């Protein structure tokens, strides 16, 4: 099945006017010297100046392939901001720095990641002897040489993938963008970044998770929930193994689903239940495919025909990736059919307005009830009963 749950991402504003310059670090002379080293290193990445980059390194770091791995990544900024420096003895130190970078044409603000750098002082200068991610999540270029394919509305970055396969992802993403726009409207950037790692384990590594968490999940979207619109572009991260098992329609449904998460991101907040965010994304994905309700919702169809009609709309906990596959599928299918019901009975404009009204509510409690009342003129219990009747009619086989 398509794994369509998205994770929260991180965003930060970089106020440096000169790309590659992180600004002077506060503190003593050593902090300022290390910040200058990081500024030179950042500028070398942007200028593709390997000689200058290697000039900031000593020892094992000179053998690190990360600089070459970034060769095809279209960067418009790359900065380090020193946040901590601690001595480890004998002229050595460990630095913690915030890396901020933007992809040209896609990120409106830097995407940030915390980096750990091992340093050695030699001949009156600091040198980098190693650099790595500070947390469990790895960066894409740490997994190998990154290949880039630019679509009309997409940027696809892959590691260990053929050019033909990356072009296929660009084709799917380019088709997904207008599909998401037709479902949501045009108040989003209408561009998408897709990451295609080498393996499911590498996908999990990008998300800082155990591989078992995303086994069988075709793709996820990371990004800032309820953002300002100035945040970095979301990343659609593909599980190449699970995605490859899908047919043509399934691949397009998943890519449209994930792209719809990108489109709705700034109106998706802590007030938005997962049945609505995931259901809307599925509704956009299946829209126009010709799939009947029983075809697109086989697990829920089985439950309804066995007399196991859901008593309530899916709870957030029902969407946990660790759940049994059939129960997880029922949650997605129930959310999809709730959004499909609204679109059919009240119209597309009302479905969009309902989504926005829920997200705009001050807190989760009462968000759905208030939006149902103001947009659809229903009480929450009445909507649940209509949804149950809709499930019986669409899936019951009567």
**384 domain-assigned:** yes
Looking at 136, 158, 189, the residue that finishes a domain is 136
What is the number of domains present in the chain? 2
What pLDDT score does 261 carry?
Answer: 97
**328 domain-assigned:** yes
- Phi and psi dihedrals of 312, rounded to 5? -155, 165
**192 domain-assigned:** no
What pLDDT score does 324 carry?
Answer: 81
**Under-70 pLDDT residues of the chain:** 1-27, 224-231, 322, 397-398
Give the range of the structural domain holding residue 275, as residue numbers without chain letter: 269-398
**174 domain-assigned:** no
Q: Is the pTM of this model over 0.85?
A: yes
List of residues 6+ apart from 305 with CB closer than 8 A: 395, 396, 397
Query: CA-CA distance, 55 to 237, in Å (whole number)?
Result: 34
**C-beta separation of 281 from 321 below 8 A:** no
**237 domain-assigned:** no
Express each pLDDT in 229-282 by its tens digit: 566 778 999 999 999 999 999 999 999 999 999 999 999 999 999 999 999 999
What pLDDT score does 212 carry?
Answer: 85
Query: CA-CA distance, 347 to 367, in Å (whole number)?
Result: 20
CATH code of the domain in which 127 resides:
3.10.450.50
Structure tokens at 209: 């998770």
What pLDDT score does 320 carry?
Answer: 84
What pLDDT score does 216 carry?
Answer: 85
DSSP 3-state assignment of 133? strand
């Amino acid at each position: 099945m398509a794994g369509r749950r998205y994770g929260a991402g991180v965003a930060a504003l970089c106020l440096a006017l000169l790309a590659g310059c992180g600004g002077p670090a506060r503190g003593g002379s050593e902090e300022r010297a290390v910040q200058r080293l990081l500024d030179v290193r950042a500028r070398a990445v942007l200028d593709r100046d390997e000689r200058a980059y290697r000039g900031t390194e000593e020892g094992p770091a000179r053998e690190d392939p990360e600089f070459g791995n970034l060769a095809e990544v279209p960067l418009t900024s790359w900065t380090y901001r020193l946040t901590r420096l601690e001595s480890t003895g004998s002229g050595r130190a460990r630095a913690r720095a915030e890396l901020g970078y933007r992809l040209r044409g896609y990120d409106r603000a830097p995407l940030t990641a915390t980096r750990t750098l091992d340093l050695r002082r030699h001949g009156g200068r600091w040198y980098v002897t190693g650099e790595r991610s500070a947390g469990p999540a790895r960066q894409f270029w740490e997994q190998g040489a990154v290949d880039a394919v630019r679509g009309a509305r997409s940027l696809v970055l892959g590691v260990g993938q053929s050019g033909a396969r990356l072009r296929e992802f660009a084709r799917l993403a380019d088709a997904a963008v207008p599909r998401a726009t037709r479902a949501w409207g045009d108040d989003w950037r209408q561009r998408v970044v897709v990451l295609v790692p080498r393996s499911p384990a590498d996908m999990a590594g990008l998300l800082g998770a155990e591989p078992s968490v995303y086994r069988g999940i075709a793709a996820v979207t990371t990004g800032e929930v309820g953002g300002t619109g100035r945040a970095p572009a979301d990343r659609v991260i593909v599980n190449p193994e699970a995605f490859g098992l899908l047919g043509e329609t399934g691949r397009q449904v998943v890519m449209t689903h994930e792209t719809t998460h990108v489109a709705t991101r700034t109106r998706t907040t802590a007030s938005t239940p997962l049945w609505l965010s995931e259901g809307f994304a599925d509704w956009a994905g299946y829209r126009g495919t010709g799939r009947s309700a029983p075809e697109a919702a086989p697990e829920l169809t089985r439950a309804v025909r066995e007399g196991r009609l859901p008593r309530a709309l899916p709870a957030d906990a029902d969407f946990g990736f660790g759940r049994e596959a059939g129960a997880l599928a029922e949650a997605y299918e129930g959310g999809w059919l709730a959004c499909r019901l609204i679109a059919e009975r009240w119209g597309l404009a009302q479905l969009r307005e309902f989504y926005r009204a829920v997200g705009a509510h001050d807190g989760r409690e009462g968000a759905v009830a208030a939006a149902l009342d103001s947009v659809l003129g229903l009480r929450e219990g009445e909507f649940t009963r209509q949804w149950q009747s809709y499930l019986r009619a669409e899936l019951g086989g009567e």
